[in-house]
Amino acid sequence: MANLNLIKRVGQVEKTRVGRGGKRGKTSGRGTKGQSARAGNKKRPEFRDIIKKLPKRRGYGKNRGRTVDGTRPAPVAIEVSRLESIFDAGTEINPKAFYAKGIVKGRGAKFPLIKIVSGGEITKKFSFSGVGVSKGALAAIEKAGGTITLLPAKKVKRVHVKPLKAEKKSGGKKK
């Protein structure tokens, strides 16, 4: 039979409250003198001072953190000349083809953004779809007789509201 007086309590250990007297004596664990030794001590956050010292940049939206999207992945750049050695002529090149050759790593059905950039010459005829292409690479591919099905441009909704100018009231000083 279990005795209730033998059960040990388990749970959060209470935080020791400094400055309440007891067995600590004299300064009660608060160190000596100063702001942090007083009752109701609060220190100004250091990070606020660092932020206040940074300059304000000119222009609309330059100081807002929302203007930069850090979660957006950068595309994997692949040079045109590299495609020559990897793929055969007349191949349909898309993200799945890059994944099959082991050039890019995908996670399930998701593939990273791929951009074909100029760099070197190309002689083989390829057809591209589902990849981004730079202007230099576009010219090189078309020169070799290749075709490109460009990705549809994502429409980004940008909201820019100009502040209304206050109308000037006619009339001079009141006398």
Give the chain's domains with CATH numbers.
76-149 (3.100.10.10)
How many residues does the structure list for the chain? 175
Please give the pLDDT value at position 157.
47
Please give the pLDDT value at position 167.
56
125 phi and psi, to 5 degrees? -95, 120
Alpha helix segments (H runs only) across 1-134: 46-53, 80-86, 95-101
Q: What is the mean pLDDT of each run of 10 residues along the chain (175 residues)?
A: 81 80 80 86 85 80 66 83 88 88 79 86 89 90 88 53 54 55
Please give the pLDDT value at position 173.
57
Please give the pLDDT value at position 148.
87
Please give the pLDDT value at position 114.
87
Tell me the three state secondary structure of residue 51.
helix
What residue ranges in the chain does DSSP mark as E strands? Answer: 76-79, 92-93, 114-117, 127-129, 132-133, 147-149
Q: How far apart are CA 1 and CA 161, in angstroms?
A: 75
Q: How far apart are CA 98 and CA 75, in angstroms?
A: 13
Overall pTM surpassing 0.75 (yes/no): no
Please give the pLDDT value at position 153.
57
- Comparing C-alpha atoms, which of 137, 99, 97, 132 is closest to residue 117? 137
Please give the pLDDT value at position 152.
63
